[in-house]
């Protein structure tokens, strides 16, 4: 029986960061859809026929690329997650940020952020471990791992 690779929707406005994350997550066996804006991410949520298991989005997408023109650019990723969940209620969400908890909470109108956060910059093994945890995967369940990556997965756990 063939297993389906988990599908991740990656939203990052910085092209270099987006491409690096795409390459790293793909190398670990995930199918990765990419969007540079919230608008494109929502279009993918609505238009992709198959499952999307996880949304990974930067909190602070730049203002020119906001899907809600009047939205505060720094809470954009949080608002995007909420909008994506209305389209795909079973979607899991992971936020990326370079900001402190205090700043993120302030930008979220003083409320705690309702989704897990990974601080940027982070190493790929930290991101992959968090993704696997959110998706209920264990290192042995990874798809398409190379021999070198298998060793990393076993030593990182």
pTM, to two decimals: 0.80
pLDDT greater at residue 14 or residue 63 = 14
DSSP secondary structure code for residue 149 in this structure: H
- CA nearest to 56, candidates 22, 21, 93, 89: 93
Q: How many domains does the chain have?
A: 1
The answer as to whether 81 is a domain residue is yes
- CA nearest to 116, candidates 36, 129, 14, 107: 129
The answer as to whether 2 is a domain residue is no
- In degrees, to the nearest 5, what angle opens at C-alpha 27 toward C-alphas 100 and 55? 45
| Domain containing residue 151: CATH number | 3.40.50.2300
Boundaries of domain holding 107: 7-156
The answer as to whether 42 is a domain residue is yes
Q: Which residues contact 147 (CB under 8 A, 6 or more apart)?
A: none
The answer as to whether 123 is a domain residue is yes
The answer as to whether 45 is a domain residue is yes
pLDDT digits (tens, 9 = 90+) for 68-98: 444 444 447 888 999 999 999 999 999 998 8
């Amino acid at each position: 029986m063939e297993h389906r690779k988990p599908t991740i929707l990656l939203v990052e406005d910085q092209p270099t960061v987006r491409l690096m994350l795409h390459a790293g997550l793909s190398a670990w066996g995930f199918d990765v859809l990419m969007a540079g804006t919230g608008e494109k991410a929502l279009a993918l949520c609505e238009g992709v026929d198959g499952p999307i298991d996880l949304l990974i989005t930067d909190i602070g997408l730049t203002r020119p690329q906001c899907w809600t023109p009047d939205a505060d650019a720094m809470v954009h990723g949080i608002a995007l997650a909420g909008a994506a969940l209305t389209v795909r209620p079973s979607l899991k969400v992971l936020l990326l940020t370079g900001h402190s908890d205090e700043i993120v909470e302030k930008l979220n109108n003083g409320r705690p952020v309702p989704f897990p956060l990974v601080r940027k910059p982070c190493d790929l093994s930290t991101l992959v471990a968090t993704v696997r945890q959110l998706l209920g995967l264990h290192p042995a369940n990874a798809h398409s791992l190379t021999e070198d990556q298998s060793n990393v997965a076993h030593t990182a756990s």
